[in-house]
Amino acid sequence: MMEVSRTVEVSPEHVFAVLADGWSYAGWVVGNSHIREVDPEWPAAGTRIHHSAGLWPLQFNDWTEVTAVAPDRMIELRARLWPFGVARIRFDLTPTANGTRIVMGEQATEGPAALMPTAVQAVLLRPRNREALSRLADLAGGRARSQQAK
């Protein structure tokens, strides 16, 4: 599994709040363009976000499902985007002295993308996932600041 990490100056609870908001995924997941529906129990295991990826008019409708979750610590997802394949994505949140270390791991597990060697997947995914973590960090920081202002 290819991993990227980032340390942010907000608590794991603030980071997890963004991960737990299924409607926010189009704002920080690179390539996700539209959230069509979020299961009401999200992020419970087995629940899904129904999303679109790509640019209009070439969009693919698919879903992402929670396979495991430990609130404020970890969430693991099964993201499907056919015709490309399915990926396993995991976020681990570790408290630090000044905030949270976020580790994002991703690996194609099914479909054409899974036929690529792990090293090739890493070259393709690393820049995208670094940008996703940057966006996630910005949203978590914004939520933390808005809560402090109240």
- The H or E element containing residue 48 is strand 48-55
d(CA 78, CA 59): 19
Domains along the chain with CATH numbers: 2-21+66-149 (3.30.530.20)
CA distances from 132 to 25, 41, 77, 148, 150 (A): 10, 24, 15, 24, 28
pLDDT digits (tens, 9 = 90+) for 68-103: 999 999 999 999 987 789 999 999 999 999 999 999
How much is the pLDDT for 81?
A: 84
Q: Coil, strand or helix: which one is 42?
A: coil
How much is the pLDDT for 1?
A: 87
How much is the pLDDT for 146?
A: 85
pLDDT digits (tens, 9 = 90+) for 55-67: 778 888 999 999 9
Tally the C-alpha atoms within 13 A of residue 27's C-alpha that lie toward its C-beta.
12
